[in-house]
Structure formats: C-alpha cells, structure tokens
Structure 1
Amino acid sequence: MNGIKLDEFLFEMNKVVIGRKEEFKLLFAALLTEGHVLFEDLPGTGKTTMMKAFAHGLASEFSRIQCTPDLLPTDVLGGSIFNPKTNDFYIRKGPVFTNVLLVDEINRALPRTQSSLLECMEEKQVTIEGDTYRLDAPFIVLATQNPVDMEGTFPLPEAQMDRFLMKINLGYPSKEEETQMLLQVGDDIPFEAISSVLDPAKIKQLQKEVKQVTVHESILQYMTTLAQQTRNHPLISIGVSPRGTKALYKTVKAWALLNGRDYVVPEDVKEMIQPVWTHRITLSPEARMSKRNSSDILKEIAKNEPIPEEEVIRL
C-alpha cells in the first residue's frame, strides 16, 4: 500500500475526528490483518465517533449494535421467524451480516450475548438453527466498552478478549485538539462530509499484500522470546498465548506495509506489543496490589530484551 492512500484516509478522518492519527492507523492495520479492535475508555472520549468515521471512510456495509442488558443473541445473529402468510419459517439475518460491525458498549450486554460474537469473530461465519452462513469479506468488529468498574457492566471473558486483535485506550485529547474540535466540528458531527477511500475489492487486495511482507527469522525468534518472557514474569499470572504471538506476527506485517516497507524491523514489534498484548495478559495479585498495569510491564519486558540488529536484513 502506498502512503498516499493512507494519507487520503487520515485526511478524511480529520474532517470529523481531530488528531487520533495513530489510533486510525492502528485501525487500518487491524483491517488489513482481518482482525478486530476493542476501544476502552470513559464515556464521551470519542470512541463511537471514531468507529462511525472509520466506517464512513470505507465503501462497505455498516451495522451498529447498541448493547444493553436485555440484548439477546438472536438480536445480534438473527434467527428463525415464522411467517403466518406462508405458514413457514424463514431466517432473519442479524446485524452481524455486514462488513463493518460497530458493537457499542459491548460490556453492557450479558455474557451469553457477548459470547454470541465468538464464532463470527474467529471463523467469519454464523450458525443459525443448525445451518452455517459465511460472512462477506472484509469483516471487522469495532467494539467499545466502558471501564469495567463502572456500574452496569459485565466484564468480557478471557476467551472473548483474546478474539480482539488490539485493545486501544484513547485518553483525553490535548487542549489544542479539543479547541480545534469545537471550532471545526461545531454542533453536529458531519459524517456525510467523509468520502470513501477504500472499497471491499481494494481492501482484499491490500490484505493479500500484507501476507507478502517479509519477516526475518531473527525477528520471529525475538517475538517468541518476548512471549516467553510474559509467561515467566513474576508479576504476570497468565502470559501471552500462541494466538497472541500469531496476532503480533500478523500485525507487525501490516504495520511495516503502512510505513512503506515490505519487510519487518524490530521497531515494528516494539510499537505493536502494547495494542496487541496488553489485553492478553493477566497480572498477578502482587502486581495489582502494587498498582502496576499491563502496559508498564510490557514496556519493561521489551526494554530489557535485546533486539536483533545486524542479523536483520532485507531479503
């Protein structure tokens, strides 16, 4: 992918969301690796606005699910409906049958409803009444959640968290960005001003290009060593799974392509550890008591592990 296309996409996003270029670039990387993204932060920080802007930048089908405690799995996947006119049943497909699925406040849904997304996120298919239906490509789930200690939330199980390629925390914008937001966006969010930059055919082409990016064996060993470090760290009770290592492998290839390279360098690995692994490790009670967080511990692991340098060459 040439940098101009990414620049065009970021330009369109800036019509609605001020700043957040790094976050949109991460979203783009997830799209190119066929992964899903979870955004966690306080209400009002722009999570949903970012997701809707991202969807408008893609000439693809878009659906949204607003999660509440009374949301049922059939509301997400669809189900069998009786038609009294024909005296027969028919399948009503749910909102998951789309290209870009926004699952807003996912942790306000009950665990059984959260779990209904597992099959479509992992296998890109849905089973209804014993029949399996393939989802159209590309397919990406963009989920938002409020901090788990807020009232009325149900923490996502580890199996669900592991299905997300990345977890991103937004934080507050800078004073300059917030001022520019008020000046530029005003009272109404102009989503209609966003022009679509990519269509499904172009996205699938870019996804194929990502798979052609070269990863040197020494970088593969670097990633697996980092994964081993998380499994042996005294402040981590559950380290990164092999699925997490594979997720990092796919993400660094997309990140290299977005940076104009057809090969991965160690810096790609160090930059992607945070969004890809932060939600995949479980801290020990000692770490929580000392108020350590996953991000800081991963930074320490990456800092202490020597990176391959002279061995990494472009093949």
Structure 2
Amino acid sequence: MSQTTASITTAQWQQKRDQFVSKGVSNGNRSLAVKGEGAELYDLDGRRFIDFAGAIGTLNVGHSHPKVVEAVKRQAEELIHPGFNVMMYPSYIKLAEKLCGIAPGSHEKKAIFLNSGAEAVENAVKIARKYTKRQGVVSFTRGFHGRTNMTMSMTSKVKPYKFGFGPFASEVYQAPFPYYYQKPAGMSDESYDDMVIQAFNDFFIASVAPETVACVVMEPVQGEGGFIIPSKRFVQHVASFCKEHGIVFVADEIQTGFARTGTYFAIEHFDVVPDLITVSKSLAAGLPLSGVIGRAEMLDAAAPGELG
C-alpha cells in the first residue's frame, strides 16, 4: 500500500468515489481494497474478506498469483502494445495457437483477440454475419452478453441493463431457455425438456425464420439470471438445429471458461463442439483481454482490416 493511499481514510475515499465516479457504476461493498492474495482481499482498515465474486469470474487463479505477477513484470519490461495490425508480436500468435489447441473439436481453428467480453461477442456476431451473409442474431431469455448496444440488445434482463438505454440493435431475438427450478409442479425433467425443445422449435416459426439467422449465442451455463444449467439434451438439440439450418452456434464462455466449471470450457460437459467460442475474464487473470476462437473458414470470412 502506498503512503498516499494510507494517509486517506476509508470515509474520505468513499466521499471521493461519490464525487468523481459515476453513480451508474455499482458498488456492492464500500470498503477500500488495498491488497489481494489468492481468494482473499484486505481493506484499508486491515479487515480480511473472502472474494467469492473473483471480480465476477475474472480471477480463476486468484489475486496476485505469483506466476501472473511475474509474467506481467516480464512483459512490461519487453513490450506493452505495438498494435498487432501494425506489427505482429510473439505472444499474440502463441496465445492463438494455445487456445486453438485446447478448444473443443479436431477441425482447423483460428483466433482473434480484443479488449472486453462484449467486444468478443460483437465480433462473433460480425464473423457469423459475414460468413453466413445473414443478419439475425438469437440469444436466450435470462442471458447476459454485455453492456454495449449490440450485447445489451442480446441481454435479457431489462433492469438494470437496458432500461432507458434504447433504441437497441435490430434483428436480435431471444429464444426460450430451460429453468428446471421453475418447471410446472409434478413435471419430470424429461417432459420439461420436451416442452422447452418444442418451444425452441416454435420460436423459429413464430418469431424469426432460421434462414435469416446468422448465429445462435448461448452461455453453456447462464450466470446472470441465476446460475442455470441446461440439460445435455437441450444443448445438443440447439447445436443440431443450428447445423441443420446453416446457423453459426456460438458458445459464450466469457464467464464459464478456463476451468470455472471443471473443464477448460463449459460446453465440453454437453458433448457439443461449437463453431465459435467467445472468451475473456479469466483468460488474462484480470488484465483486459478477450477473444473469439473458432472454425478457420469462419474467422477468415472477413477481409483484412474488417476485424480488430
């Protein structure tokens, strides 16, 4: 902790926060974190907290992991940001190779890197639209994909994410998603799956024609409207439907990725190979980095300069 930080009380930091930081940024805890180690945070007054949020799924290896700290120091001394579109550099290529190797599927893959999870989702949409030459985008009820205009349009929860921020992006639709806790009383999981799968199929009759849809974007485990795990049968049906109709199936692994569910990617639990995967959060252990990994022919649909 710096001397300057220590010389100001928590109450004074709170006052400064209220004076200089937008109230649109929420704050669940008004303590002031000054040190993090593993799963623990320490505030200015010496109190210890267990960080169950992990910066909202961003710190799967915890705060200030020694290997991460060493890597940051080493990289900062060598090179920070030349801009890959200006001059390539090794770490970008090595990371792309690594992620293409661990992503599900034996097909040829490529990757692109960006700054935030929302950017990754937006670029997955761009890639899908360019590849399919279609415009429609389908996400799911209770899903969360970001706060930019496109990803806010794809996000289900109106308050606090969408209320008063319209108009939203066009050609975005939300399909039904199973929630077994809220199934009708006395109904078996299998019967409930039948019902939701039928509702999903009907959605592509009543709401949008599959021939106009570029991509279906799914969180393998939803993390914003409750931690909701769909059945393997439902996820496999969605993937099969996409394949049948030439729709790009996108697994949004921004929060679920990098062993958060026990495998590198949550989609692996469902025995499904997505066309594209969006990643961020724990990809860089707290530093701003995101990416899209996927089928090489899809990543190459855009011409040089159209992605970045």
TM-score band, normalised by shorter chain: under 0.3
* Greater helix proportion: 1
Normalised to the residue count of structure 2, the TM-score between the two structures is: 0.25
Normalised to the residue count of structure 1, the TM-score between the two structures is: 0.25
